[in-house]
Structure 1
Amino acid sequence: MTRKTANDFPPEVLGLFDKYVHGQISRRGFLDGAAKFAIGGLTAAGLLEALSPQFAHAQQVEPTDARLKTEWIEIAAPGYGKVRAYSARPADAKGKLPVVLVVHENRGLNPHIEDITRRVALDNFIAVAPDALFPLGGYPGDEDKARELFGQLDQAKTREDFVATADYLKKLPAGNGKLGVVGFCYGGGVANFLATRVPDLNAAVPFYGSGAAIEDVPRIKSPLLIQFAEKDDRINAAWPAYEAALKSAGIKYEAHLYPGTQHGFNNDTTPRYDEAAAKLAWQRTIAFFNQQLRA
């Protein structure tokens, strides 16, 4: 079966899906809005299913891949008391390695982000992905339930737990003392936030995430590699003010906008995935981490 892409869906349906994914409309709101675009035997529910993640289809690195050592770790943190995270590193690591903190979207640590964590590790990093939903039982195995749980988190506490996790990872015995962070959507916002709160962060790569609070931008010390989708008005609307603040504060940054792409273009579990853009963005990400974390 040919894999669907964003071009197979009306822009209005993609817009409704983005609102649904980010909690701006309910499932019923999506179905009602998409009903008028349900043609050719495809129902509104069918459109939603077609746009939803297919984790097994997109997995690139098996959880049991012999090239990696994976484990679950727990980290003491001030927000909810404890963070549970998925860790992956090369099984035959030689010497101390840079550490990359991987931050998920607004559904917690789902199989896609676990796979991303393994991909980072295969590029010779220690990769660690916390699950912000751990205080509520962890990722529930269902994206809708995960979104519902996510709305119950106290984000002030969650942010402090990410800060504590970053501090812990800077001091990992197997690490070389250098730490980078990469995050997607919600995680992109966390990456920008951590750049303002972790003075010795060495690199941050937010994918289509909310920018840091403008008043906090002067506190950023780490270089930024900022990845944007072109068709992402919700996120892109705030970029001019964020960029002006970065320039005013003299922050070192690169920003890339990928033509024709949708929010979530790096997520290869959904039709919004753009293979060419995702590959280029990922190459840039790994090259940036190699440059910033290995010197």
Structure 2
Amino acid sequence: MKALAATGDRTLVRFADTPEPTAAADAVIIRVEAYSVNRGEILAMTGAYGTPTAPGTVMGQDVVGRVITAAADGSGPAVGTRVVGHAEGGGWAERVAVPTAALAELPDTVTATTAAALPLAGLTALRLLRHVEAPAGKQALITGASGGVGHYLVELATAAGISVTVLAASPERGARLAELGAAAVVHDVADADGPFDVIFESVGGDVLAAALARIAPGGTVLWFGQASLQPIRLSFFEYLTVSPFTLRHFPHWVADTTDAEDLRVLVDLTATGRLHPELGRVADWAETASVLTDLNNRRIRGNAVLTIDA
């Protein structure tokens, strides 16, 4: 089977012949038609999380395709069903095994490329928003809003009644976020008019500290990323006279719901026109290495999706 395996060097991935996937009793095997790539996968391969991914490892979480082998335990969709899945790895390949608890069926009205952009970024945004109690009427600041998660978060938060201010890298990217519902767009945290009841922070470095200067009394900061790769710098004494706030670490995989349940929500929102995945790049999977480079260098707005011809 053809797949894209980690190289352990700056090229990141290359094609390799790999064994066919084997599925646990509660998993299906799907023929992959499209997958999205995420910056977190680049960080894993380059060692930002610790040890770099071992050469030969097939990466990939966000996949779309058709079931070619049903789950042995009888759970999940039948052979031939179109599905979107959040795989446990191995998705940048012709075929991949995915647990049925991480799959959702796709209606014909949602294309493979659109659906492939949903899993990781969509799940993260959906679950972040669930940590905001009584969202209607609240003021929120979203940093790093030009990425895949940010686009979803703007649209979902606005639909929930939150007034959203976004930190965007450029006027062009800010304009698209305004189209999705952002009430205000800034290019520097210093220009954001607070106070904010909630801050969704994914940049790190000095941005989090600057954002905290605009937190409302009793507000909450949901910290879900560090795109700048710079550690945050906070001084207790700086905030000694500030009303108490909550700083909460947010890992997207910790949830009271299954991936399947939340993927069904995302698919329904997309199918009914209430969620609009931002496809910043769609290309053949032979271009994966160059797309990863562009994504890492922030030359892609929103999500990047690769397609595999049948």
Same fold (TM over 0.5): no
The interval holding the TM-score normalised by the smaller chain is 0.3 to 0.5
After TM superposition, the score normalised by the length of structure 2 is 0.33
Say which one has the larger Rg.
Answer: 2
After TM superposition, the score normalised by the length of structure 1 is 0.35
More strand by share: 2
More helix by share: 1
| Higher relative contact order (Cα pairs below 8 Å, separated by 6+ residues) | 2
